[in-house]
Structure 1
Amino acid sequence: MSPRRHRRAPGPERLDEARARHGVQSLESGPDGDWYVRGIAGGQAEKAYRCPGCDQEIGPGVAHVVAWPADGPVDERRHWHTPCWRARDRRGPRRTRRR
Structure 2
Amino acid sequence: MPRRKPRPDGRPVRPVRETQAYESGPDGEWNVRRLTGSPSGRTYRCPGCAHELPASRPHVVAWPADSDGADRRHWHTACWEARTRRRPLG
Q: TM-score, normalised by structure 2?
A: 0.75
Which amino acid letter does the alignment assign opposite residue 82 of structure 2? A
Counterpart CA distance in 1 for 2:29 and 2:51 is 24
Q: Which runs of 5+ in 2 are unaligned?
A: 2-14
Offset at 1:94? 1.8
Change (3 A) 1:84 1:45: farther
What is the total number of aligned residue pairs between the two structures?
A: 76
For the pair shown, the structure with the greater C-alpha radius of gyration is 1
Counterpart CA distance in 1 for 2:34 and 2:88 is 20
Q: TM-score, normalised by structure 1?
A: 0.69
Give deviations 1:18-69, integer Å, cap 9, x for gaps. Answer: xx85611100000011100001112x25210000000000013111000000
Q: CA RMSD in A?
A: 1.8
Which amino acid letter does the alignment assign opposite residue 91 of structure 1? R
Other structure's SS at 2:29 match: strand
Which amino acid letter does the alignment assign opposite residue 77 of structure 1? R
Mapped contact 1:52–1:93 kept (Cα < 8 A): no
Counterpart CA distance in 1 for 2:71 and 2:87 is 17
Counterpart CA distance in 2 for 1:45 and 1:93 is 30
Counterpart CA distance in 2 for 1:83 and 1:54 is 10
Change (3 A) 1:45 1:90: farther
| Identity rate, percent | 51
1:89 to 80, 84, 87: 84
Counterpart CA distance in 2 for 1:38 and 1:21 is 12
Write 1 or 2 for the structure with the bigger share of strand: 2
Offset at 1:88? 0.3
